[in-house]
Amino acid sequence: MTAYTEVIQDGMLQLLRSGTLEVASATAFSLSEESMQELRADIADYRKRIILRPQEISNHPEVIRRLGCLAMNGMIETDIYGT
């Protein structure tokens, strides 16, 4: 999967680290101190997998439409049966 979002938070780094996400595109970071240390410790790997873009691009409806994104305004955790 790839992520096209405005802000990369702790959970997104976990998804990158686990290999669930190949690439994440965002405008900024909002990380806990622990995640910030992890980012700095492995910056060589993350720099290949994180793209930072201006907000005018990341939030532009036409760009998002052309990407064919499925959007969600927050990560939801559930199982296949919805329990």
Q: What is the pLDDT of residues 18-34, one digit of tens each?
A: 999 999 989 999 999 99
63-78: average pLDDT: 64
Beta strand segments in the chain, E: 2-4, 7-9, 23-26, 28-30, 50-52
Question: Which active-site residues does the annotation give?
Answer: 6
What pTM value is reported for the model? 0.70
**Average pLDDT of the chain?**
83
Q: What confidence score (pLDDT) does residue 40 get?
A: 95
Euclidean distance between CA atoms 46 and 64, whole angstroms: 23
Q: What confidence score (pLDDT) does residue 61 get?
A: 75
Among 1, 32, 4, 30, residue whose Cα is nearest residue 18: 1
Residues in contact with 14: Cβ distance below 8 Å, sequence separation at least 6, in sequence order:
none
7-13: average pLDDT: 91
Q: What confidence score (pLDDT) does residue 63 get?
A: 77
